[in-house]
């Protein structure tokens, strides 16, 4: 399955969003996720099934003005 993760196309067989984060070794409670332009709350990641071509954004805090 091809996924577009933070703008880069990757091949990954993760079934759910939570599984994808685990496979890619994202960790911590400071991440926010969106799929195809919609926020996916952290408590919903385990139930959110991924489809081929999904666009996934994974954001974290950084410095800002």
Partner 1 sequence: MLSLYDAALSSRLLLGTARYPSPAVLAEAVSRSGAEIVTVSLRRETAGGKTGGAFFELIRQLAVRVLPNTAGCHSASEAILTAKMAREIFGTDWIKLEVIGHHDSLQPDVFELVEAARILCAEGFCVFPYTTDDLVVGEKLVSVGCRVLMPWCAPIGSAAGPRNPSALTAMRSAFPDIPLIVDAGIGRPSHAATVMEFGYDAVLLNTAVAVAGDPPAMAEAFGKAIEAGRLAYLSGMLEPRDMAVPSTPVVGKGVFA
26 lies in the binding site for partner 1 (CB under 8 A): yes
Cβ pair 17, 56 in contact under 8 A: yes
14 lies in the binding site for partner 1 (CB under 8 A): no
User: Among candidates 30, 35, 65, which has minimal Cα distance to 48?
Assistant: 35
Give the one residue of 6, 22, 46, 47 binding partner 1; rule: CB under 8 A.
6
Cβ pair 58, 26 in contact under 8 A: yes
28 lies in the binding site for partner 1 (CB under 8 A): yes
Q: How far is the CB of 64 from partner 1 (least distance, A)?
A: 3
11 lies in the binding site for partner 1 (CB under 8 A): no
């Amino acid at each position: 399955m091809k996924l577009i993760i933070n703008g880069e196309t990757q091949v990954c067989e993760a079934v759910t969003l939570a599984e994808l984060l685990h496979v890619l070794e994202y960790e911590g409670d400071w991440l926010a996720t969106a799929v195809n332009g919609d926020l996916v709350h952290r408590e919903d990641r385990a139930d959110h099934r991924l489809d081929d071509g999904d666009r996934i954004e994974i954001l974290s805090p950084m410095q800002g003005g």
